[in-house]
């Protein structure tokens, strides 16, 4: 087979391309990008049991799925502590912070990390041409005030309205482009991403913050999903496995920084990947509102290829939605096989990050995208977990699909790999994203801005934060290829001590920490 059998070859770069220049993440057992990747490479499942700080297991758990007002599953991917927040760092009073949904607080933190990772400082980006696009669905925190209306204060509505998830970021970072929150259930983050890409390509903005968040605070969704028999009784997302029996709820936040290619290259940004195409549609009427449609999922992928052609053999893998439900997995696999995998020369590897981290619901698409971008960067697609026997209702051979039960090494070649990511909402809102590696000639060489052994001064808003930041740098150096670089200890204002460190391997980033 030749490229002409599949459409045009991988697209050449264009100034109208949208590139990923930074990202931030906070997931269970993964505070940061390196920890996230380590969970994937170690083939680790981070699912545990919902903590007593959320709700009482004794009050709401019952093993009988028919028990009313109860949940038969308390398995969850859970962050260590969602209640701590450095309000002073963001100029927020303790009184206002207490009224704020912790989802807003978490988004502020992860967005600050993503912007720092992208190297965006006061003087190298136009805030008037920056938009904020957030996927969010949950309002768990506000339900806790139903039994205590006296606890509602003046800041409650701003702190507990979904629209303010995005507006809070625009306000704090002084961003003047479009700013809004999207809710299409589990595909929320990809619908937000689709809107951001469109705004970048049509010139409305130059930079976009695309993020999503989900926290598990209230027992009510657990009860509701239990009554609908959607949760896995054994607490494992077994995507595409014979024993797939439901999904596992999880929490966290992911934020991407996107820039138009010409802006990113002019700023000499570190380019991570290119968004080749995004596409969205809806199922319309099916046999039931929560029942997916193979036809519409297949048409989604076909529409993407019609509007943004590429050689199907350039797909290195496809990160599936892969919730591990008896109905959803076969529908998705059939759509992928018929639209993307069938005509290929080799089987298309598929997997699901939900087998590691569970299902982050409105944020799940961006978790899959982050796994995908890192896999393209590092040249290996991590294995999907909990597959003992492939689902017999999916004809993997006929569909030309291959389950990634082991890491898939991406062969080196002279043109970029592409990869796809699926995301579906349980109300029928479907989305897909195709990303590609960078062409060699579209990356910008990153100069050393400071001689080796030069000190890097770190600052923070308080002494504990400074110590934590310095320790993170210290651990990164000693655990990586920079162990031979000189470390220097400085006394800060006669009190705090910080280890002042090294030069980034690619480019020194200015971190505004105060």
For 21-80, the pLDDT digits (tens) are 999 999 999 999 999 999 999 999 999 999 999 999 999 999 999 999 999 999 999 999
Check the CA dihedral 79-465-38-380 and report its sign.
positive
Terminal-residue alpha carbon distance, the chain: 57
Look up the pTM and report it. 0.89
**Maximum mean pLDDT: which of 120-129, 196-205, 289-298, 473-482:** 196-205
| CA pair distance 312, 482, nearest whole angstrom | 39
For residue 58, give every residue at least 6 positions away whose Cβ sits within 8 Å of its Cβ, in sequence order, or none. none
Tokens for 100? 């704020």
For residue 349, give every residue at least 6 positions away whose Cβ sits within 8 Å of its Cβ, in sequence order, or none. 316, 317, 318, 381, 401, 402, 403, 404, 408
82-107 burial: b if 16+ Cβ within 10 Å, else e: beebbbebeebeeebbbbbbbbbbbb
Q: By C-alpha distance, which of 185, 428, 189, 187 is closest to 290?
A: 428
CA-atom Rg of the chain in angstroms: 23
Using the predicted structure, report yes or no on whether residue 508 has a pLDDT greater than 70.
no
Q: Between these two residues, 288 and 477, which has the higher pLDDT value?
A: 288
Q: How confident is the model over 225-247, as a mean pLDDT?
A: 97
- The pLDDT assigned to 474 comes to 72
Secondary structure E strands in 41-160: 48-49, 75-76, 130-135
For 429-476, the pLDDT digits (tens) are 999 999 999 988 777 655 544 445 556 677 776 777 777 777 777 776
Within a 10 A sphere around the Cβ of 290, how many other Cβ atoms? 17
Residue in this structure with the two tokens 């290996």, named with its chain if needed: 380
Using the predicted structure, report yes or no on whether residue 12 has a pLDDT greater than 80.
no
- Cβ pair 159, 99 in contact under 8 A: yes
H/E run at residue 416: none
- Cβ pair 124, 180 in contact under 8 A: no
- The pLDDT assigned to 493 comes to 41
Looking at 1.10.238.10, 3.40.50.970, 3.40.47.10, 3.40.50.300, the CATH number of the domain 18-442 comes to 3.40.47.10
Within a 10 A sphere around the Cβ of 62, how many other Cβ atoms? 15
Helices (H), 18-63: 33-41, 57-60
Q: What's the mean pLDDT when you consider all of the chain?
A: 88
| CA pair distance 26, 253, nearest whole angstrom | 5
Model confidence at 1, pLDDT cuts 50, 70, 90, reads: very low
In the chain, DSSP finds a helix count (H) and a strand count (E) of: 16, 18
| CA pair distance 423, 444, nearest whole angstrom | 32
- Cβ pair 313, 345 in contact under 8 A: yes
Q: Cα–Cα–Cα angle for 149, 154, 160, nearest 5°?
A: 70
Task: Determine what percent of the chain is predicted with pLDDT higher than 90.
Answer: 77
- The pLDDT assigned to 285 comes to 92
Per-domain residue ranges of the chain: 18-442, 469-514
| CA pair distance 284, 172, nearest whole angstrom | 39
Tell me the HSE value of 188 on the side-chain side, using a 13 A CA sphere. Answer: 28
148-172 burial: b if 16+ Cβ within 10 Å, else e: eeeeeeebbebbbbbebbbbbbbeb
């Amino acid at each position: 087979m030749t490229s002409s059998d599949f459409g045009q070859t991988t697209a050449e770069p264009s100034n109208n391309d949208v590139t990923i220049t930074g990202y931030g993440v906070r997931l269970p057992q993964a505070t940061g990008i390196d920890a996230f990747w380590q969970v994937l490479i170690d083939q680790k499942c981070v699912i545990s049991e919902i903590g007593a700080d959320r709700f009482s297991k004794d009050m709401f758990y019952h093993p009988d799925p028919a028990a009313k007002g109860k949940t038969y599953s308390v398995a969850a991917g859970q962050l260590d502590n969602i209640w701590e927040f450095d309000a002073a760092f963001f100029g927020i009073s303790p009184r206002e912070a207490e009224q704020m949904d912790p989802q807003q607080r978490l988004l502020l933190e992860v967005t600050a990390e993503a912007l720092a990772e992208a190297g965006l400082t006061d003087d190298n980006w136009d805030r008037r041409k920056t938009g904020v696009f957030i996927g969010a669905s949950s309002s768990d925190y506000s339900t806790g005030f139903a039994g205590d209306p006296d606890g509602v204060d003046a800041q409650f509505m701003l702190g507990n309205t979904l629209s303010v998830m995005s507006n809070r970021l625009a306000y704090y970072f002084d961003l003047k482009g479009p700013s809004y929150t999207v809710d299409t259930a589990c595909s929320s983050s990809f619908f937000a991403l689709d809107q951001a890409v469109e705004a970048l390509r049509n010139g409305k903005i130059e930079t976009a913050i695309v993020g999503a968040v989900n926290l598990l605070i209230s027992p009510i969704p657990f009860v509701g999903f239990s009554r609908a028999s959607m949760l896995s009784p054994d607490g494992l997302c077994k995507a595409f496995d014979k024993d797939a029996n439901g999904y596992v709820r999880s929490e966290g936040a992911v934020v991407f920084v996107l820039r138009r290619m010409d802006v990113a290259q002019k700023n000499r940004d570190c380019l991570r990947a290119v968004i080749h195409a995004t596409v969205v549609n809806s199922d319309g009427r099916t046999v039931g509102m929560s029942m997916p449609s193979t036809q519409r999922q297949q048409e989604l992928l076909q529409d993407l290829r019609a509007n943004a052609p590429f050689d199907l053999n350039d797909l290195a893998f496809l990160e599936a939605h892969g919730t591990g439900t008896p109905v959803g997995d076969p529908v998705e696999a059939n759509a992928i096989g018929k639209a993307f995998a069938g005509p290929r020369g080799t089987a298309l590897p598929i997997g699901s990050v939900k087998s590691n981290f569970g299902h982050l619901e409105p944020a799940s698409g961006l978790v899959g995208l982050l796994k995908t971008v890192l896999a393209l960067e590092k040249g290996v697609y991590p294995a999907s977990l909990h597959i003992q026997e492939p689902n017999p209702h999916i004809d993997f051979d006929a569909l030309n699909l291959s389950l990634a039960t082991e890491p898939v090494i991406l062969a080196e070649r002279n043109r970029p790999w592409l990869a796809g990511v699926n995301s579906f909402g349980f109300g029928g809102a479907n989305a897909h994203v195709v990303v590609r590696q960078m062409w060699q000639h579209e990356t910008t060489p990153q100069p050393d801005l400071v001689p080796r052994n030069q000190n890097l001064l770190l600052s923070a808003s308080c002494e504990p934060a400074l110590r934590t930041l310095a320790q993170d740098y210290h651990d990164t150096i000693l655990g990586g290829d920079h162990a031979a670089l000189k470390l220097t200890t400085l006394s800060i204002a006669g009190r705090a001590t910080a280890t002042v460190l090294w030069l980034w391997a690619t480019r020194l980033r200015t971190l505004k920490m105060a």
